[in-house]
Chain A
Amino acid sequence: MDYLDFIDTIQSIADGVLFGATYALLGIGFTLIFGVMHKINLSYAAASIGAAYASLLILAGFKVPPAFVFVLSALCGGVIGGLVYWIGFKFIPLNNPLATLMSTLGLLLLIDEIVVHTTQGVPLAYPVLFSDVIIPAGPFNLRGDLIFVFMLGCICMVLLLLLIYRTRLGIATRAVSQQPVASALCGISTTRVNILTFVITGVLGGIAGAMIGAAIGMLSPLLALPLTVKGLIVCVIGGLGSIPGAILAGLLVGGLENLFQFWRGVSERDLYIMLLLFIFLVFRPGGLFATAPGRD
């Protein structure tokens, strides 16, 4: 491998890691809901894309600067998150994991179809910020839009970690995820924590959706299924219920994905990500940050 190839390889890994911030946010969403409710919310990535679409629609209606799209998307994400809890989880007995799996799958299809229906299936251009900025770093060039997306992702993660580890709500959330019965006995309202978790992950998802739109430059309903798969993979590689794990795994998957794309082309790229997941499942089934076995 000569020098230029080496530079290109590093460059593609760096671009991938920057984009990986979006995967990390999606992975955190899946992981948080799983941690608190021990349920899987398949509609999460679709809801994120839906929130990004909703923010675009609102943006088209009102004359506000394009930077507001992120705030709007986060708000829409929170609302959609609450709705998803209301429709897909509220009335279904919690001891039946298959039913909630199915209802969130139905919601995935529903959100996807609502998006297709309102936009006639045409991909929409998304406002890209800082796309003309290119930061040279030695022999490498860092794209301004990707850097912006990465920084935004990092800010969200820091805020989320502060929320989880420094506030009363965070303590309640962690208590419910460790011992739902005991925390209910201590006077924590499990339902309230569940709803708030859905709203918080929804806000995160909305930001992730907006970040994806900003990094790719457009939105398409076709993004929902691949992103669901990616988010789930990230959350398993990171270790279920582990937020630092999801962050690391998101960046790892993002970087490796771009590396494989550089080496083997776009059509084979995801194949290697799946293989990576299988390697993890065989040799380290708990993921990067596995919780200690035996704890319920």
Chain B
Amino acid sequence: MDFYLGLIQIIGVHTLLGLSAYCVLQTGQVSLAQAGFFAIGAYVAGMLTVLGHWPLIPALIVAAVLGGATACAVGFPALRVKGLMLVVATTAFGEAVRLFFFNFNYQLERGELKIGPHGGEGFRQIRYFPENGWSTLEVAIFIWVIVVIVMAALWWMDRTRAGAVLRAVGQDEFASQSSGINITAVKVTAMTVGGVIAGIGGGLFAHYTTHIEHVQFGVALASFAIAYPILGGLSNVFGTLIAVIFIQGFLIEGLRFMGDWRNLLFGGLIVLAMNVRPRGLIDENTSALFKRALWPRKDRAGA
């Protein structure tokens, strides 16, 4: 049972990571820096609860704010460039954050032990959940409450003017600029929102794994972050969720019996999925199909 609860926690945290990339991808930008914001969230939240004895929720809020602030600061220089340049710039930023934590040493004496981030060895003993007697089930529920809140907020945002503006910038920058949208502001805002979500996700990640180290936040995690929304489709938030369940639940855990071959299949399936469904598993047509099936009358009234 604990195995499945652990899997549910992983899926929850990765959904947050995917959603943070989803926000940025909405504006047509590919950011590989999400793993960097995730790392910042993880280290900050971990240090606050372990070294500062803060409760979890304020620590998560600080992690979110810091993640967002970094994203905003990175957004201004990085979003001057686009396309490939942005991919490279954000990759470099993510790697720079990882290397920063690789060299980051801040330990306090606590009785016998030394606690805190310790360079290449990572940051051990983030024991907030066990110390406060949270069961695995409670942790899973807590993570999913946050995931649901974030998903609901993004779902709502997709339906407001803000969502329309984001999509407009993503689909045609020139056209949206001509209709009076400040595209830099929109992109930096999307990046900031992505940073906030990644910060929260990182904070949760640090607490359920209890041990974080720099290698976990490398380019691989960043590519997972953009893989979820692109594989799932950018038409709505559920695409990301389905892609996370597919990758984490099916490809990584479900295929364990295949041993070594699983990893081979993983890259191959991504390539296959992109060849078969280049616009993601759930694209505009699929979601329109669902809507028609679920609310047939409303659709007719609209048409």
CB distance from A23 to the nearest CB of B (A): 14
Answer yes or no: A60 CB below 8 A from chain B CBs.
Answer: no
Listed stretches B93-101, B146-154, B172-180, B203-211; interface member: B93-101
User: How far, in whole Å, are A282 and B77 apart by their CA atoms in the complex?
Assistant: 6
User: How far, in whole Å, are A268 and B98 apart by their CA atoms in the complex?
Assistant: 11
B residues near A232, Cβ cutoff 8 Å:
84, 87-88, 91
Q: Mark A263-296, 1 if CB is under 8 A from B, else 0.
A: 0000110110011011001100100000000000
CB <8 Å contact, A92 and B275: yes
CB <8 Å contact, B220 and A225: yes
B residues near A235, Cβ cutoff 8 Å:
88
Q: Mark A89-129, 1 if CB is under 8 A from B, else 0.
A: 00111001111111101111111111011000000000000
Residue of B nearest to A232 (CB): B88
CB <8 Å contact, B267 and A109: yes
> 17 interchain pairs (CB within 8 A)?
A87-B271, A92-B278, A93-B278, A96-B279, A97-B83, A98-B230, A99-B279, A101-B30, A102-B274, A106-B269, A110-B264, A113-B266, A225-B218, A233-B88, A270-B95, A270-B99, A271-B96
Supposing A107-B267, A117-B263 touch, asked if A281 and B220 sit within 8 A by C-beta, the answer is no
A residues near B30, Cβ cutoff 8 Å:
98, 101
Answer yes or no: A157 CB below 8 A from chain B CBs.
Answer: no
Answer yes or no: B107 CB below 8 A from chain A CBs.
Answer: no
Answer yes or no: A48 CB below 8 A from chain B CBs.
Answer: no
User: How far, in whole Å, are A40 and B32 apart by their CA atoms in the complex?
Assistant: 14
Answer yes or no: B219 CB below 8 A from chain A CBs.
Answer: yes
Residue of A109, A112, A229, A270 contacting most chain B CB atoms (<10 Å): A109
CB distance from A143 to the nearest CB of B (A): 27
Main secondary structure of the interface of A (DSSP, over half): helix
Q: How many residues of B contact A (CB 8 A)?
A: 46
A residues near B246, Cβ cutoff 8 Å:
none
User: How far, in whole Å, are A233 and B275 apart by their CA atoms in the complex?
Assistant: 28
CB distance from B80 to the nearest CB of A (A): 6
Answer yes or no: A204 CB below 8 A from chain B CBs.
Answer: no
Answer yes or no: A254 CB below 8 A from chain B CBs.
Answer: no
What 10 pairs between A and B have smallest CB-CB spacing?
Answer: A110-B267, A106-B270, A109-B267, A99-B278, A103-B274, A106-B271, A274-B96, A113-B263, A271-B99, A274-B92
Query: Given A113-B263, A235-B88, 7 more contacts at CB 8 Å?
Result: A103-B274, A110-B268, A225-B219, A225-B220, A240-B85, A278-B77, A281-B81
User: How far, in whole Å, are A99 and B85 apart by their CA atoms in the complex?
Assistant: 17
B:195-249 near A, CB below 8 Å:
218-220, 223, 226-227, 230-231
Residue of B nearest to A281 (CB): B89
CB distance from B282 to the nearest CB of A (A): 14
Answer yes or no: A78 CB below 8 A from chain B CBs.
Answer: no
CB distance from A43 to the nearest CB of B (A): 9
B:256-303 near A, CB below 8 Å:
260-261, 263-264, 266-271, 273-275, 278-279
Answer yes or no: A236 CB below 8 A from chain B CBs.
Answer: yes
B residues near A274, Cβ cutoff 8 Å:
92-93, 95-96, 99
CB <8 Å contact, B91 and A229: yes
Answer yes or no: A20 CB below 8 A from chain B CBs.
Answer: no
User: How far, in whole Å, are A118 and B266 apart by their CA atoms in the complex?
Assistant: 16
Answer yes or no: B189 CB below 8 A from chain A CBs.
Answer: no
CB <8 Å contact, B80 and A285: yes
Residue of B nearest to A92 (CB): B278
Residue of A nearest to B86 (CB): A281
Residue of B nearest to A270 (CB): B99
CB distance from B263 to the nearest CB of A (A): 4
Residue of B nearest to A100 (CB): B274
CB distance from B201 to the nearest CB of A (A): 20
A residues near B273, Cβ cutoff 8 Å:
106
CB <8 Å contact, B263 and A229: no
Q: Mark A39-52, 1 if CB is under 8 A from B, else 0.
A: 01000000000000
Supposing A274-B99, A277-B92, A278-B92 touch, asked if A101 and B267 sit within 8 A by C-beta, the answer is no
CB <8 Å contact, B81 and A109: no
Answer yes or no: A85 CB below 8 A from chain B CBs.
Answer: no
CB distance from B234 to the nearest CB of A (A): 8
CB distance from B274 to the nearest CB of A (A): 4
Answer yes or no: B103 CB below 8 A from chain A CBs.
Answer: yes
Answer yes or no: A228 CB below 8 A from chain B CBs.
Answer: yes
CB <8 Å contact, A103 and B89: no
CB <8 Å contact, A267 and B99: yes
Answer yes or no: A34 CB below 8 A from chain B CBs.
Answer: yes
Answer yes or no: B58 CB below 8 A from chain A CBs.
Answer: no
A residues near B274, Cβ cutoff 8 Å:
88, 92, 99-100, 102-103, 106
Answer yes or no: B54 CB below 8 A from chain A CBs.
Answer: no
User: How far, in whole Å, are A193 and B268 apart by their CA atoms in the complex?
Assistant: 26
Answer yes or no: B78 CB below 8 A from chain A CBs.
Answer: yes
CB distance from A261 to the nearest CB of B (A): 13
Answer yes or no: B64 CB below 8 A from chain A CBs.
Answer: no
User: How far, in whole Å, are A102 and B83 apart by their CA atoms in the complex?
Assistant: 14
CB <8 Å contact, A267 and B120: yes
Residue of B nearest to A109 (CB): B267
A residues near B263, Cβ cutoff 8 Å:
109, 113, 116-117
Could you say which of A34, A117, A268 contacts B260, with CB atoms under 8 Å apart? Answer: A117
User: How far, in whole Å, are A87 and B226 apart by their CA atoms in the complex?
Assistant: 20
B residues near A91, Cβ cutoff 8 Å:
275
User: How far, in whole Å, are A100 and B274 apart by their CA atoms in the complex?
Assistant: 8
User: How far, in whole Å, are A108 and B32 apart by their CA atoms in the complex?
Assistant: 15
A residues near B279, Cβ cutoff 8 Å:
96, 99
